[in-house]
Amino acid sequence: MKIFYEHLKDRSSKRFAVLVDPDKYDNDSLEHLMKLINKCKPDLLLVGGSILFNPIEITITTLKLGTHVPVFIFPGSAMQLSDRADGIFFLSLISGRNPDFLIGNHVLAAPHVDRAGIEVIPTGYMLMENGRSSSVEYMSATTPIPLGKTDIAVATAMAGEMLGLKCIYLEAGSGAEHTVDTDMIRAIRRKLSLPLIVGGGITTVKQADQIYRAGADMIVVGTAIEKNPEAIMDFCALRKRMNAPAS
Ligand code: 1GP
């Protein structure tokens, strides 16, 4: 299998990822989701969360057996690791100043990730203010980049690139009331050459379309698909339209 980063870094195509939170699906709903995944083929499945009661291992194994879409760990902490996944977004929370989420968890995880032999994508993870406090904010004990502070957001993304990270993930928080601001995305895109991932609070195709057009290379949707699994078809169709050659 081509390593996923080879796809992600090809910025001529837009990508669509589905976040599968192991606590939000039971056997039947996961089975149903996998049928839809096999119909419309999102580019990537992410498994993880800020805090989990169910092990990621079972969800990852089920997704690997039931679909042909790459499965990546989207870890809330060093406790969320598995050798069943295809890869891991190795998230450094560069919007925050908590050493545990900048490097500490990574040190704990590194030997296990190495032994698992899975693809590692070093990712600058930026938590963006969206109007109310998020799980990531609370669990990581960091503050998000304030709304409207575009200069700080742009400089943070630039620093991530200069440090050698391989992509930047702008996160409004799962279930966020507002998505990441499109002006903010546009400003970051202008200064960044890395692939840009945007997630948190995307519930409609219109929002997804605006976020793609602002410069996101990949969007991540979780909550909206948990609530209405059929919505996955609409997001996949949008991605297809975005990638269709202009006539
Ligand atoms: C969360 O960005 C992801 O880390 C997805 O967020 O659940 O709001 O779609 P939603």
Give the C-alpha separation, 236 to 238, whole Å. Answer: 5
For ligand 1, the distance from its centroid to the CA atom of residue 46, given in whole angstroms, is 10
Residue 144: band (very low, low, confident or very high) from pLDDT cuts 50, 70, 90: very high
Q: Convert the pLDDT of each residue in 179-236 to its tens digit.
A: 999 999 999 999 999 999 999 999 999 999 999 999 999 999 999 999 999 999 999 9
For ligand 1, the distance from its centroid to the CA atom of residue 210, given in whole angstroms, is 16
State the average pLDDT over residues 141-151: 96
Look at ligand 1, atom 5, and give the residue with the nearest C-alpha. 200
Question: Cβ < 6 Å from ligand 1: which residues?
Answer: 19, 171, 174-176, 199-202, 220-224
For ligand 1, the distance from its centroid to the CA atom of residue 182, given in whole angstroms, is 16
Pick the atom of ligand 1 nearest to 21's CA.
7
Q: What percent of the chain has pLDDT over 90?
A: 94
- Would the pLDDT of 38 be above 80? yes
User: Which of 21, 24, 125, 171, when mutated, tests ligand 1's pocket best, judged by the most ligand atoms within 8 Å of its CB?
Assistant: 171
Say what the pLDDT of residue 130 is.
85
Q: Which tokens sit at 45?
A: 């499945």
Torsion of CA 75, 78, 82, 85, to 10 degrees: 30
- Would the pLDDT of 1 be above 80? no
Phi-psi region of 204 (alpha: psi -120 to 50; beta: other; left: phi over 0): beta
Say what the pLDDT of residue 131 is.
81
State the average pLDDT over residues 58-65: 97
For ligand 1, the distance from its centroid to the CA atom of residue 175, given in whole angstroms, is 6
| Stronger pLDDT, 25 or 1, i.e. the higher one | 25
Cross-strand pairs, 127? 171
Say what the pLDDT of residue 77 is.
87
State the average pLDDT over residues 147-171: 98
Mean pLDDT taken over the chain: 96
Domains defined along the chain, listed by start? 4-242 (3.20.20.390)
**Spatial CB neighbours of 214, under 8 Å, sequence gap ≥ 6:** 182, 183, 185, 186, 189
Say what the pLDDT of residue 141 is.
95
Q: Convert the pLDDT of each residue in 94-137 to its tens digit.
A: 999 999 999 999 999 999 999 999 999 999 999 999 888 899 99
CA angle 24, 140, 95 (to 5 degrees): 110
Say what the pLDDT of residue 2 is.
62
Say what the pLDDT of residue 132 is.
83
- Would the pLDDT of 18 be above 90? yes
User: Which of 19, 140, 203, 211, when mutated, tests ligand 1's pocket best, judged by the most ligand atoms within 8 Å of its CB?
Assistant: 19
Furthest-apart CA atoms within the chain: distance in Å: 51
For ligand 1, the distance from its centroid to the CA atom of residue 20, given in whole angstroms, is 9
